[in-house]
Amino acid sequence: MIRVSGLRKSFEGVTAVEGLDFEVAHGEVLALVGTSGCGKSTTLRMLNRLIEPDAGHIEIDGRDAREVSPDALRRGIGYVIQGVGLFPHWTVAQNIGTVPRLLRWDRARVRARVEELLELFGLEASEYADKYPSELSGGQQQRVGVARAMAAEPAMLLMDEPFGALDPVTRGRLQDEFTAIRRRRGITAILVTHDMDEAFRLADRIAVMDAGQILQIDTPERLLRGPREGFVRQFVGLDDRALRILSLHRVRELSRPAADAPAPNQWVSPDDTLREAASRLIWEAGDSLAVVEEGRVTAEIRAEDIWRTGARGAP
């Protein structure tokens, strides 16, 4: 879906991005992570030509990005930024319908798409479509911002710290919603974040950047189990690496058969993470937990299996 080679950019003699090479497959989410000033956002903005590269090649869905006018390119790419950037004098429906209107969709199609996206993000159209951004909470505004980026059914999404300004609970819920939607729709996305937990939660692969270069690009688990020496190892962090590995796996992966029974007081669901299961086991000082679906015990998960999974990531 995206192929980048030899990408370079300098500002007044200062190198921001130096010789980037990477690819993103259809339906994949790639996270660009690193400290402030490492070139993450500059890279993202070169992909939709908000910034023109000094050198290198960008290919999107088989087409050279330089052969497409900037306006046409951007209309085919959803763009989400921290702080949302909604038009304050437009309603929610008008904000979401911005790009479809530019593409000259008819009114009925725009209205249907707005209602579909509001439903996807848990916002009742009859209640929210005619509200203005100032009447929404921060989490609701961010939902509308992501919905607007997806409105014209773009081939890809570029997301620059999209959830960074939200409180942890709202951020987690919106991350889960985005993950569910993008998997159902097969969305390709590049996510810029400085938050490693967010990268592990949302991305299929993670590119660690420093001083304008990609130092390592890998799946979350391979990155945790085998970070390169130096900056990558330091940035990924070692102290909580085992817990982060547990957050990448679900209870259903390690659950064992158990006799059918009513749900006990403490239990986990098959889709809970091993990190969540470990927390409950530690709190209860137990050796196992029931796995419950629709109010009935269907399996169990044992502490020894969880610890073994986490320990494989130890230095």
Residue 68, CB half-sphere, CA atoms under 13 Å: how many?
19
The Cα–Cα gap between 133 and 151 comes to 17
Within 10 A of 141 (CB to CB), how many other CB atoms are there? Answer: 20
pLDDT of 119 reads 87
pLDDT of 181 reads 81
The Cα–Cα gap between 22 and 274 comes to 31
Per-residue tens of pLDDT for the chain, all 315 residues: 999 999 999 999 899 999 999 999 999 999 999 998 899 999 999 999 999 999 999 999 888 999 989 988 888 898 888 766 789 999 999 999 998 998 899 999 999 999 988 988 888 999 999 999 999 988 888 889 888 988 888 878 999 988 876 778 778 878 888 888 888 888 899 999 988 888 988 999 999 999 999 999 999 989 988 889 899 988 887 667 777 888 888 899 999 988 887 788 888 999 888 988 988 888 888 889 899 988 889 999 998 888 888 766 443
CB 223 within 8 A of CB 36: no
User: The pTM is what?
Assistant: 0.81
pLDDT of 187 reads 87
Domains and CATH numbers, the chain: 2-240 (3.40.50.300), 244-311 (3.10.580.10)
Sign of CA dihedral 304, 306, 312, 314: negative
